[in-house]
Amino acid sequence: MTVSPPPAPAPPTAPGSVLTARHPLVDGHTADAPLLAAYRGRRPAHRPVWFMRQAGRSLPEYREVRRGIGMLESCLMPDLAAEITLQPVRRHGVDAAILFSDIVVPLKLAGVDVQIVAGTGPVVASPIRTAADVAALPPLDPDALAPVAAEAAAVVAELGSTPLIGFAGAPFTLASYLVEGGPSKDHRRTKTLMHAAPDVWHALAAWVADVTGSFLRAQVLAGASAVQVFDSWAGGLSRPDYQRFVAGHSAAVFAAVADLDVPRVHFGVGTGELLTAMRDVGADVVGIDHRVPLDVASERLGGAVPIQGNIDPALLFAGRDALHAHTLDVIRRGASAPGHVLNLGHGVPPDTDPDVLTELVEFIHAQPSA
């Protein structure tokens, strides 16, 4: 698998736009995509659907091309990562691709010694827990983002009218990895740092937000038509702690792409009590996990915010009848919002039968549009 050369010089930007004239939102390729219509609060001709972790271990073609290649290594090989990003679009007919990456890739690009350990997840060699540790963090070299931009550009060149969604982890989740040194069930060290040394926490979270914002912006400039920020661990926070220690840093990430005029989606796991706070940091769309019914979530959001979700991933194993009935209930509840994109309430489990996902997309597309 070869590495793509840097993209050719971009044409001048379109009048009044930061995006180049060949960006799919500017040249018209994705301007009328059902996904973007729903993200902007409209009801498109058919119901858009994509799946978190749709590119991954559930696909045999993914396992084949990844054989013998490490996760972070594969994320930074533009040709390989682009192929992986495109695989679920070809197989399932979903309404969006999402950039194949990992939540810790921007940390790696900034020079943090982080590895993904099989059976564990991301592991940071030297956790960040003091002011000196934060001060030693290097700035992100913009040139380090070249593989990410090359991947996004390669994907967009193949997608046509299907949008690419840019991907990034939220500052709380990424900063927590840095503090804990790896996955954590209770985020004890992170919460301790927040309350015992708030200046250190805010300096760390600000560094992460800056790196993440640059990472996300590079994807949009290379062709992504929307972005989604994942806060995998925010559900472990109280609302006061989220607002005091996290919201401002997440807002900085969303602000990094605000001038690019792409829909911005915010998703968290177990964040039913934080929905309005997650909206208020700058999200245009709020992703809902499977723990909160969509009509309840929409009511909490004042009925004015497009939503995404929230089929329970466990129902992918329950048989067609149960899955279809559950999906129709999700569709019915999603009608309470001004726009609704079907998705899972979390990622595709690795042992999912891909034929179930393909059939589910066909079933969703066959439902009458509201």
**pLDDT tens sequence across 246-264:** 999 999 999 999 999 999 9
Torsion of CA 136, 140, 141, 147, to 10 degrees: 130
Catalytic residue among 22, 40, 57, 189: 57
Cα(63)–Cα(355) distance, rounded to whole angstroms?
16
Torsion of CA 349, 105, 159, 354, to 10 degrees: -10
pTM for this prediction: 0.94
Domain residue limits, the chain = 34-346
Cα(95)–Cα(92) distance, rounded to whole angstroms?
9
* Confidence category of residue 105, pLDDT binned at 50, 70, 90: very high
Q: What is the model's pLDDT at position 2? A: 38
Residue 66 is among the residues annotated as catalytic for this protein: yes
* Confidence category of residue 275, pLDDT binned at 50, 70, 90: very high
Cα(361)–Cα(58) distance, rounded to whole angstroms?
15
* Cβ neighbours of 62 (radius 10 Å): 22
Q: What are the Cα distances from residue 129, in Å, to 137, 175, 179?
A: 12, 10, 6
* Cβ neighbours of 241 (radius 10 Å): 17
Q: Is 172 exposed, middle or buried (0-12, 13-18, 19+ CB in 10 A)?
A: buried
How far apart, in Å, do the first and last CA atoms of the chain sit? 44
Least Cα distance to 307 among 332, 327, 335 occurs for 335
Cα(137)–Cα(299) distance, rounded to whole angstroms?
42
Handedness of CA 236, 239, 240, 244 (dihedral sign): positive
Q: What is the model's pLDDT at position 16? A: 54
Catalytic residue among 102, 231, 295, 312: 102
**pLDDT tens sequence across 44-69:** 989 999 999 999 999 999 999 999 99
Helices (H), the chain: 34-39, 60-66, 71-75, 78-92, 105-109, 131-135, 146-159, 171-180, 188-196, 198-221, 239-241, 247-255, 275-280, 294-300, 320-334, 354-366
Q: Are 188 and 179 in contact (CB under 8 A)?
A: no
> What single letter denotes the amino acid at residue 245?
F
Catalytic residue among 66, 189, 244, 291: 66
Strands 114-117 and 121-124, sheet pairing = antiparallel
Q: What is the model's pLDDT at position 118? A: 86
* Mean pLDDT of the 158-181 span: 97
CATH number of 34-346: 3.20.20.210
pLDDT of 12 higher than 90: no
* Mean pLDDT of the 318-333 span: 98
Residue 355 is among the residues annotated as catalytic for this protein: no
pLDDT of 34 higher than 70: yes
**pLDDT tens sequence across 184-199:** 999 999 999 999 999 9
> What single letter denotes the amino acid at residue 222?
A
**DSSP states along 55-85:** SSTT-HHHHHHHTT--HHHHHT-HHHHHHHH
Residue 57 is among the residues annotated as catalytic for this protein: yes
Cα(282)–Cα(263) distance, rounded to whole angstroms?
10
Q: What is the model's pLDDT at position 370? A: 65
Residue 244 is among the residues annotated as catalytic for this protein: no
Q: What is the model's pLDDT at position 119? A: 86
Q: Are 127 and 179 in contact (CB under 8 A)?
A: yes
> What single letter denotes the amino acid at residue 130?
T
Residue 85 neighbours by CB under 8 Å, 6+ apart: 55, 97, 98, 99, 100, 151, 155, 164
Cα(267)–Cα(233) distance, rounded to whole angstroms?
11
Residue 47 is among the residues annotated as catalytic for this protein: no
